Amino acid sequence: MDIIIKNLSENNLKNINLLIPKNKLVVFTGVSGSGKSSVVFDTIASEAQRQLYEMYPFYIQSQLPQYKRPDVEQIQNLGAAIVVSQEALGGNARSTVGTATEIYTLLRFLYIAIGKPKLEKSSELSFNSQEGMCLECSGLGQVLEININQIINPKKSWMEGCILDSRFSVGGKNWKNGCENGGFDIHKKYEQLPEDEKKLLLYGNEKWEGVYNYYDTLFLKRDISNMGKGIKEKAKKIIMKTPCPWCQGKRLNKRALECKISGYSISDLCEMEVIKLQSILSQFRSYGSTQRLIETLMNRLQQLINVGLDYVTLNRPVNTLSGGEAQRLKIVKLAGNALTDIMYIFDEPSSGMHPHDVKKICDLLQMLRDKGNSIIVVEHNKQIIEIADYIIELGPGAGKNGGNVIFKGSYDKLISMNTITAQSLRRKLTFKSVQRKPDKFYEIHNANINNLKNINAAIPLGVLVMVTGVAGSGKSSLFTQCFYEQLGKDGILISQKSIVGMNKSNTATYMGLFGLIRQLFAEISNEDESLFSFNSKGACPVCAGKGYTSSGLTMLNFALTKCEACDGSRYKEEVLRYTYKGKNIAEILKLSVDEALNLFDDNQIKENLLRLKNVGLGYITLGQTLDTFSGGEKQRLKLAKNLGKNGKVYIIDEPTSGLHMDDSWKLIKVFNQMVEEGNTVIIIEHNLSLISCVDWVIDMGPGAGKNGGEIVYNGSANKFRNAETVTAKCFREVWSQ
């Protein structure tokens, strides 16, 4: 029985009708902004959850997330939905890979059963329990300390002002106190002081507090969360996290760490990469009473290995995982369940994944389907589109130019069509006719953070560089940390960290356009600029500038409805009397970037709009709120904001994540233009098709985790085909298609 959708007009969708086969692997594709998410997430997933929640009593409903009814005439035959999004896993520093997958819980049960000396309760092995945690670091494994290197210039004496802070400026109260009561030589450079005098300078005596203790009291022994921006910025600079000296970063107390199996504490196991941990656990099988528990643990670990997470450790905090790693961790939790007739909905499961690992995701999606489930995937990746039973393409363009179903059917049928997706799938790769040669090289020496193995590398400048390698090979460690930190002011990092989406922040505010537009209206009207802000004087008094009001009863669902007073414009009536070229400010916020480019004459406004257009965001509206942007759109929004800074080194982490192939080709043209303008552009990417468009390739590997951390290729792009690396092998497969 198919899922039936009739006259769906949610967001940009144009009254579409769909029959979506159940118990099949169905892929929705199309250019970014074509309407895929509007069908899959805003309609199918949202309505499935809404109808399910309506089955609960009113009180329970009021405690659950609220979903509005989509703009659709009819929708039938939905199943219970499990949505696997690209959102980062929730959790703080206490949430680890082990706790998120519940593997750590199983290990605790194992240690209670056979660990020596014997413990009575599993909570005695938990770093989230008072009974098991190291009390000195509260189970976090880290403590906060003052980084002395950030506040002392070792080349200067006390008299010369060796403390790099105005609180100890020469002639000041604290400086004078050090001169009179410190007990150290105030004329010697800090680096020349004997150790006992350095200790006096830092930790003081009966009459002198000491520099370290001063900052310890100022920043660590009081709550600074409500203090000024200056204090917070200073604290961020000089406070560092170091492994807890009492538990050596293991999070547990002495009693928990003494409990061992075959010489291993539970912390020892959590510090191992998954692939090694599985090998160690296989040796525990001789303990007959725990055979079943060990088998369960082995299966859970195998699931992590199956999705390419063999290199992670169980003690790794989930908030340090990339988007792709977090999504695979979610998928692992699904793989082991026994549910059938479920509607699994995936948002680009290949995002952030090397082609070598995408094959494993393909196997997992097919396995879930074969268990009797319906699999619905939003995806741009060719490997996943190829295995689909049924493909639906939205388009033909983005925003107002999209919202139509332009293809339905099999992959073999799609490949013969003339849609944008079909053209991209058929596209033959060719290298650039002329590849740039580096102007010079930037030297990196002994890079050794995380899994990097004392790398010495020459990074080319003045070219378009693509950094490749399997997930966990060390790409981000080398480039977004080591290289970026060495570049200083010359480096511009556009990371995977998502923009915080708020319903009052929009395209115009984020890009700095809104202030320019308000200035324009202020000049026309001779009114204060704040009158044209829906967050200030111009806000509709009924909805407080939100454009909607919420209503509901205590025990019933609340509903968001368009504000009747301002008709959703967010402004009070007097603001809308003023116009620019016949449009008031609310109407201007409804314009797309492309439409606004044709309206405005102001050069600064047009320059900002052109940056948005150049990264493929011409279809979004100026008033579109950030909480409605996809991951790929947010990444391009960040890029647009940083364009135009010449003579710099851009490091961009997975810029094509969430993008259709056609949009990726457009973006690579932007990068090439940036290089022509005098910049160096380094993109960390898994989209191997783009190798044909760059000048230089740096491949990390050979594997992940401890098996990675090396540069396995560093040279021109056109010679990469002949390299003997995992990525080069995958690229040859892409090249031959």
Give me the domains of the chain, ranges plus CATH numbers: 3-87+322-426 (3.40.50.300), 97-141+247-318 (1.20.1580.10), 142-243 (1.10.8.280), 440-499+629-736 (3.40.50.300), 507-628 (1.20.1580.10)
Q: Please give the pLDDT value at position 222.
A: 77
DSSP 526-576: TS-GGGG-TTTTTB-TTTTTSSEEEE--TTS--EEEE-TTTTTS-B-GGGG
Cα 401 to chain centroid distance, Å, stands at 29
- Mean per-residue pLDDT of the chain: 90
Q: Please give the pLDDT value at position 623.
A: 92
What CA–CA distance (Å, rounded) separates 351 from 578?
45
How does residue 90 score in pLDDT terms, banded at 50, 70 and 90? low
Buried b (16+ CB within 10 A) or exposed e, 407-427: beeebeebeebebbbbebbee
How does residue 551 score in pLDDT terms, banded at 50, 70 and 90? low
Q: Which residues pair with 549 in a beta bridge?
A: 561
Q: Please give the pLDDT value at position 76.
A: 95
What CA–CA distance (Å, rounded) separates 294 from 299?
9
Give residue-wise pLDDT tens across range 91-118: 677 899 999 999 999 999 999 999 999 9
Give residue-wise pLDDT tens across range 355-368: 888 888 899 899 99
Q: Please give the pLDDT value at position 472.
A: 84
Q: Compare 353 and 346 and report the one with higher pLDDT.
A: 346
Interstrand relation of 680-684 and 548-551 (parallel, antiparallel or unpaired): unpaired
How large a percentage of the chain has pLDDT more than 90? 65
Q: Please give the pLDDT value at position 555.
A: 43
List CB contacts of 523: < 8 A, sequence separation 6 or more: none
Lowest-pLDDT range of 223-237, 458-472, 549-563, 670-684: 549-563
Q: Please give the pLDDT value at position 59.
A: 80
Cis previous bond, 65, omega within 30: no
What CA–CA distance (Å, rounded) separates 726 from 189?
52
Whether 554 has a pLDDT exceeding 60, the answer reads no
What CA–CA distance (Å, rounded) separates 218 from 228?
13
Whether 686 has a pLDDT exceeding 60, the answer reads yes
Q: Which residues pair with 25 in a beta bridge?
A: 375
Q: Compare 229 and 603 and report the one with higher pLDDT.
A: 603
C-alpha Rg value of the chain to the nearest Å: 29
- CA 456-458-464 angle, to 5 degrees, is 140
Residues 172-179: contacts with CB under 8 Å, at least 24 apart:
174/214, 177/208, 177/209, 178/208, 178/211
Q: What's the residue count for the chain? A: 737
Q: Please give the pLDDT value at position 553.
A: 46
Mean pLDDT of 480-494: 90
Burial class (CB in 10 A: 0-12, 13-18, 19+), 10: buried
3-state secondary structure string, 71-121?
Answer: CEEEEECCCCEEEECCCCCCCCCCCEHHHHHCHHHHHHHHHHHHCECCCCC
**What sign for the dihedral angle of Cα 333, 339, 340, 343?**
negative
- H or E, element range at 49: helix 46-53
Q: Please give the pLDDT value at position 135.
A: 94
- CA 614-620-623 angle, to 5 degrees, is 125
Q: Which residues pair with 220 in a beta bridge?
A: none
- H or E, element range at 374: strand 374-378
Cα 153 to chain centroid distance, Å, stands at 36
Mean pLDDT of 595-616: 93
- H or E, element range at 404: strand 404-409
Mean pLDDT of 376-384: 94
Residue 581 identity: K
How does residue 88 score in pLDDT terms, banded at 50, 70 and 90? low
Can you read off the two tokens belonging to residue 227?
């203090």
Whether 336 has a pLDDT exceeding 80, the answer reads no
Whether 560 has a pLDDT exceeding 80, the answer reads no
Mean pLDDT of 44-61: 88
Can you read off the two tokens belonging to residue 692?
């044909």
Q: Find the distance separating the first CA and the last CA of the chain, reported in whole Å.
A: 36
Cis previous bond, 355, omega within 30: no
Mean pLDDT of 245-260: 95
Give residue-wise pLDDT tens across range 129-179: 999 999 999 999 999 899 998 899 999 999 999 999 999 999 999 999 999
Interstrand relation of 374-378 and 25-29 (parallel, antiparallel or unpaired): parallel
How does residue 644 score in pLDDT terms, banded at 50, 70 and 90? low
What CA–CA distance (Å, rounded) separates 193 from 185?
7
- H or E, element range at 30: none
Residues 85-89: contacts with CB under 8 Å, at least 24 apart:
85/41, 85/327, 85/347, 86/323, 86/327, 86/347, 86/348, 86/351, 86/631, 86/658, 87/326, 88/319, 88/321, 88/323, 88/326, 88/498, 89/318, 89/319, 89/321, 89/326, 89/329, 89/330
Which CA distances in Å does 674 have to 84, 264, 433, 617, 652? 35, 53, 18, 17, 13
What CA–CA distance (Å, rounded) separates 568 from 156?
62
Give residue-wise pLDDT tens across range 397-447: 988 899 999 999 999 999 999 999 999 999 888 888 888 999 899 999 999
Q: Please give the pLDDT value at position 221.
A: 80
Whether 86 has a pLDDT exceeding 90, the answer reads no
What CA–CA distance (Å, rounded) separates 588 from 693?
37
- Residue 450 CB neighbour total at 10 angstroms: 15
Q: How many helices and strands in the chain, by DSSP H and E?
A: 28, 23
Burial class (CB in 10 A: 0-12, 13-18, 19+), 328: buried
Which CA distances in Å does 723 have to 226, 369, 437, 707, 726? 55, 37, 19, 18, 9
Identify the CA nearest to 344 among candidates 89, 79, 76: 79
How does residue 502 score in pLDDT terms, banded at 50, 70 and 90? low
Q: Please give the pLDDT value at position 383.
A: 94
Global confidence as pTM: 0.82
Identify the CA nearest to 492 among candidates 687, 237, 680: 680
